[in-house]
Chain A
Amino acid sequence: MPEVLLSTRQLSLTLGRERVLRDVELDVHRGRTLAILGANGAGKSLLLRVLHGLIEPDTGVVSVHGKPLDHTARARQAMVFQRPVMLRRSVQQNLDFAIRTRGIQRSRRKSGIAAALTLARLDHKRHQPARSLSGGEQQRLALARAQVAEPELLFLDEATSSLDPASTAAFEDMLGTTVAKGTTVVLVTHDRHQAARLADDIAFLHEGRVAEQGPAATLLDQPQGPELTDWLEGRLQPVSTHGADASERSTP
C-alpha cells in the first residue's frame, strides 16, 4: 500500500446541538481514489469540507504528510463542488483566474490553460460565457479548473449527482486522465456503481462516524457491518434529523 497522504484522527464536529461527525479516523493513500459513501445526512459533504480545511473541526486533527493541515498543504489541494460556481467570465478566463490564483508561473499559464481546455473538450467554447454552458460542460470546466494547477489531492463532492449518464461518463473519463497522472482523489457519492468504477478504497459513513473502511473490491461485495449491508440493499433510511439538515446547509 502507498504511503498515507492524508489522515484524520478523532475528528468530531458539532453543528448547533447535533454532533454531525464523530471520532472520524480515515487514511487516504497517495495516488489512490477513496470514495466516501453513506445515506443522505450521514455527514459526507461536511467531512469532505473538513478534510479540505473549509470547516474547522471541534476536536481531532487532519494531517497531510504527517503534519497538521496548513495553508501550504491546502494550496496543493483542489475541490469540485456539487453545483459548480462559474465566474461571470468566459471559459478561458475561468481557467486563467484559477491558474493565476494558484501562483503558476506566467510562462506555464498559456500551455496549462490550453491543456485544460483540451482535457475538458471545451476548446471550441473557450470564448463562450462559462454560465452559458450545459450542466455537464460546466462540471467538466470545474474539474479542469480544479486540476489546472496539478493538485496532489482532489476532492469531489457529488460532482456528477445532477448529470445525465452521458455527461457523467464524460466527467469520469476526464477524471480518469487526472488520476492517471497520479493525483489522489477523495470523492463523495451516493452511487455505489460509480464508487465501484472509480474508487480503490471505500469509507462508509453512518450517522457521522466511519462505520466501515477498506478496499472497494471487497467491501462492496462483502460488507462486514449491518449499516453498509442495509445501505447496499436500499434498506437504510436517510438521516432525517439535524444531521441531514447540517449536511444540506454545508452544500453550496
Chain B
Amino acid sequence: MSSVAAPSASGPLQAAFKLIATADPDLIEIVTLSLKVSLSAVLFACLIGLPLGAVIGSLRFPGRALLNLILNALMGLPPVTVGLLVYLMISASGPLGIFQLLYTPAAMILAQTILITPIVAALTRDVVAAMHEEYREEFDSLLLSPIQRAIALLRDARYRLVTVALAGFGRAIAEVGAVIIVGGNINHVTRVMTTTIALETSRGNLELALALGAILLSLALVINASLMGVARIGVRTGA
C-alpha cells in the first residue's frame, strides 16, 4: 500500500519568490498585461461612469428612480455573465464580430469596462448626491446650469472619486470569470494574473501561481494604502 505525501508548500514558495526576485520574463509579461487591461478598463469606466454618476447624483429627472434601481442591480453583475454576453457580441456571428475582438486584450478590456462601469457610476452618484445636498442652495443662488453643477461637483469630489476609481481597479484586477471567457487565457496573448493562477493551480504548477498570488496581494495592499493616503490628503487640504 502506497501513501501519497501532501506536497510541501515551502518548495513552491521559495520558487515563487525566486521568480519575483529574478523578474522572470513570463511573470513580468503576465503582470504587465493584467495592469494594462485593468487600468484601461478603469479609464473607460471612469470616462463613462463619472459623468453618468454626477448627472444622476445632482439632477432630478423622470425615470431617475428606475435608473438608480438598474444601476444598483448592475453593481452585482456576475463576471461570467458579463463574459458570456460580451462573448456573444464579439464572436464571429455576433453583432460586433466584424471587429474580430474575441480572444484579444481589447475583448478583456471591454468585458471589464462593462463590469466596473456600474460600480464607478453608482459610487460617484452617492458621493455627488451627498455633496450636492450641501451645495444645493448656493448653486441655486448662482443659477448654475446642470452641466456647471456636475462639473463643479466632480471637481470638488476629486479626492473621493480617486477612491472610487481605485475601488473599480480593485474589482477589475481581481476578476477572472469574464476575462477567461472572452480572452481565452492564451499564452503570451491574453494570459493575465487571475487566469494564470487558475490554470497553473489546476496543473499543479504552484510556483507561478504563488508568485502571481503574492503580487495580487501586494497590489491589494498598495490599493488600500493609496485609498488611505488620498483620504488623508483630502482631509488635510480641506477637500
A215 to chain B, nearest CB (A): 29
Decide if A231 is an interface residue (CB 8 Å cutoff): no
Contact A252 B142 (CB under 8 A): no
A233 to chain B, nearest CB (A): 34
The chain B residue with its CB closest to the CB of A49 is B137
Q: How many residues of A contact B (CB 8 A)?
A: 23
The verdict on A85 contacting B238 (CB below 8 Å), with A74-B143, A75-B143, A101-B148 known, is no
Interface hits, A45-83 → B, CB 8 Å: 49, 52, 54, 71, 74-75, 77-79, 81
On chain B, the residues within 8 Å of A54 by CB distance are 137, 140-141
B47 to chain A, nearest CB (A): 23
Q: How many residues of B contact A (CB 8 A)?
A: 18
Decide if A197 is an interface residue (CB 8 Å cutoff): no
Contact B156 A88 (CB under 8 A): yes
On chain B, the residues within 8 Å of A101 by CB distance are 142-144, 148
CA of A252 to CA of B141, assembled, Å = 12
The chain B residue with its CB closest to the CB of A78 is B141
* Main secondary structure on B side of the interface with A: helix
Contact B137 A129 (CB under 8 A): no
On chain A, the residues within 8 Å of B239 by CB distance are 88-89, 129, 131
Decide if A130 is an interface residue (CB 8 Å cutoff): yes
CA of A50 to CA of B74, assembled, Å = 41
Contact B137 A88 (CB under 8 A): no
Decide if B13 is an interface residue (CB 8 Å cutoff): no
Contact A98 B137 (CB under 8 A): no
B 119-143 binary contact with A (CB < 8 Å = 1; else 0)? 0000000000000001111101111
Decide if B152 is an interface residue (CB 8 Å cutoff): yes
CA of A141 to CA of B238, assembled, Å = 16
Decide if B237 is an interface residue (CB 8 Å cutoff): yes
Contact B152 A98 (CB under 8 A): no
The chain B residue with its CB closest to the CB of A128 is B238
A170 to chain B, nearest CB (A): 21
Decide if A217 is an interface residue (CB 8 Å cutoff): no
**Apart from A54-B137, A101-B144: 5 A-B pairs, beta carbons within 8 A:** A77-B141, A85-B135, A85-B138, A129-B237, A131-B239
**Nearest 7 pairs of A and B residues by beta carbon:** A129-B238, A131-B238, A88-B239, A88-B156, A85-B138, A79-B141, A132-B238
